[in-house]
């Protein structure tokens, strides 16, 4: 008998979108994540008669938000809706969970995905605009297009000031000059010796 293995979270070792996280370890606020939930395609139809009414829910850290429902959006809903999240300095904020549901008498999951934000939540800000695969119970469940932008509110790191060139003090100059004196005296003696020999010729 074969056992089904659960799909593992791509960010093993981190909290799953804040579900197990402790409020006290969120860390300081570091910026704002803006999602534009654009549209989806190839969604499986969860409604037996007529078109389904999909909406998208997003969860980041301990905060969850959702788009409005695209009534009769069917398998190709369009939302084009902005969702904003405050980002804290914590591992919970490096992954975003997106879920698409059918808004019916009984809310039913159409598909979901985890988005790794480690390349987006970066110093100075980052962004992504792409299609993401949705899955439901381990099976492909369509695609969703999301535009993600992170606005970093941390102060910009200051550039290190160029190191000033050391200025020689008077005592250092005296030492350098005194070191050169014997060399100069030796040269002068050699020149005098050469002149003397030339005069003899």
For the segment 175-194, the average pLDDT, to the nearest whole number, is: 64
In the chain, the largest separation of any two C-alpha atoms, in whole Å, equals: 125
Q: For residue range 81-134, what is the model confidence (pLDDT) as tens digits?
A: 999 999 999 998 999 999 999 998 889 999 999 999 999 999 999 999 999 999
186 confidence band (pLDDT: 50, 70, 90): confident
Mean pLDDT of 62-68: 95
Q: Write down the domain spans for the chain.
A: 23-152, 169-201
Q: How far apart are CA 124 and CA 121, in angstroms?
A: 9
* Whole-structure pTM value: 0.67
Could you give the strand order of the β-sheet that contains 95-102, starting from the edge strand earlier in sequence? 63-66, 54-60, 95-102, 108-116, 126-136, 139-152, 29-41, 78-88
Per-residue pLDDT tens over the stretch 164-178: 666 555 555 555 555
CATH number assigned to the domain covering 23-152: 2.60.40.150
Would you tell me how many other CB atoms lie within 10 Å of the CB of residue 40? Answer: 29
Tell me the backbone φ, ψ of residue 199, rounded to 5 degrees: -65, -30
């Amino acid at each position: 008998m074969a056992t089904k293995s659960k799909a593992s979270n791509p960010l093993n070792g981190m909290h799953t979108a804040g579900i197990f996280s402790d409020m006290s370890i969120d860390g300081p606020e570091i910026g704002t994540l803006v999602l534009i939930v654009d549209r989806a395609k190839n969604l499986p139809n969860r409604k037996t008669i007529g078109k389904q009414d999909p909406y998208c829910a997003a969860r980041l850290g301990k905060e969850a938000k959702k788009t409005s429902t695209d009534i009769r959006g069917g398998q190709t809903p369009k939302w084009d809706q902005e969702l904003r999240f405050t980002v804290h300095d914590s591992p919970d904020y490096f992954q975003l969970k997106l879920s698409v549901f059918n808004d019916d008498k009984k809310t039913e999951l159409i598909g979901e995905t985890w988005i790794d934000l480690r390349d987006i939540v970066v110093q100075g800000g980052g962004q992504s605009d792409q299609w993401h695969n949705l899955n439901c119970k381990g099976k492909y469940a369509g695609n969703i297009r999301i535009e993600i932008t992170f606005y970093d509110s941390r102060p910009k790191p200051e550039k290190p000031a160029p190191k000033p060139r050391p200025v020689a003090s008077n005592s250092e100059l005296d030492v350098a000059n005194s070191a050169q004196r014997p060399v100069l005296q030796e040269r002068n003696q050699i020149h005098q010796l050469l002149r003397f020999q030339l005069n003899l010729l």
